[in-house]
Amino acid sequence: MALKVKAKEKLQKIGKYANSFRYVMMPELYSTLTQDKVIKEAALRSGVNQGVMQACWDAAGEVIKAWATEGHSVALPGLGTMRFGLRAKSCENVNEVKTSLIKSRRIIFTPDVDLKDELHNTSIQITCYDRNGEVVKRVTSSDPGTVEEPEGDTTGDNEGENESTNSGDNGTVNPEPSNPESGDNTGGDNNGGGEGPGSSGSMN
């Protein structure tokens, strides 16, 4: 079993490598698996009736939503934990504290060790496409399999804003999800240089 990645030769329009072509890597995504398909497969693997599995799935979902919205960090068996958090602006005066400072509410997932180990041990197969969409090379990864750690619970930015969560368990926070098909945040930086954290950005 392997993760499939595509490296596409793209024209960089801004940044350090503006007006040059660079190979930008991004995950190769398959179609979304429906809930019905997941439940059917889980029923087959466990030997449990599909109707029973559906009922258990629905009940677990309701419990997770209820407890997470009460401020708990809820375990997702075999996967990690999920909780809600928020992004909000900071203020100096307590009289300025109000809900309008909240920029967004967030769903935060923290993977457990077993899931990270599974990702670490999974090989990566890279298919390289030139600017015309032709396959020019295939590569099997020999990378160290480093899994990026989630960000800390509280971070600041240049506007003096910070991120707060409703967890009291010293958990961790995942960065905002990116669109892997865009090539901007996965396999390339926003300046088109392709050298952002967690990416190679170019191929020889």
Which pLDDT score is estimated for 44? 95
How many angstroms separate the CA atoms of 1 and 118, rounded? Answer: 11
Q: Which residues on neighbouring strands pair with residue 129, listed in sequence order? A: 8, 135
Which pLDDT score is estimated for 149? 77
Residue 99 gets which letter from DSSP? Answer: G
pLDDT per position as a tens digit, 41-68: 999 999 999 999 999 999 999 999 999 9
User: What are the b/e assignments for 43-72, b being 16+ CB within 10 Å?
Assistant: beeeeeeeeebbeeeeeeeeebeeebeeeb
How many angstroms separate the CA atoms of 162 and 154, rounded? Answer: 6
pLDDT per position as a tens digit, 11-35: 999 999 999 999 999 988 777 889 9
How many angstroms separate the CA atoms of 182 and 40, rounded? Answer: 32
Which pLDDT score is estimated for 49? 94
3-state secondary structure labels for all residues of 91-147: CCCHHHCCHHHEEEEEEEEEECHHHHHHHHHCEEEEEEECCCCCEEEEEECCCCCCC
Pseudo-torsion of CA 116, 156, 69, 110, nearest 10°?
A: 0
- Amino acid code (one letter) for 21: F
pLDDT along the chain (204 residues), means of 10: 88 91 88 90 94 94 93 92 93 93 93 91 91 92 81 43 40 39 40 39 43
Question: What pTM did the predictor assign?
Answer: 0.58
Residue 173 gets which letter from DSSP? Answer: B
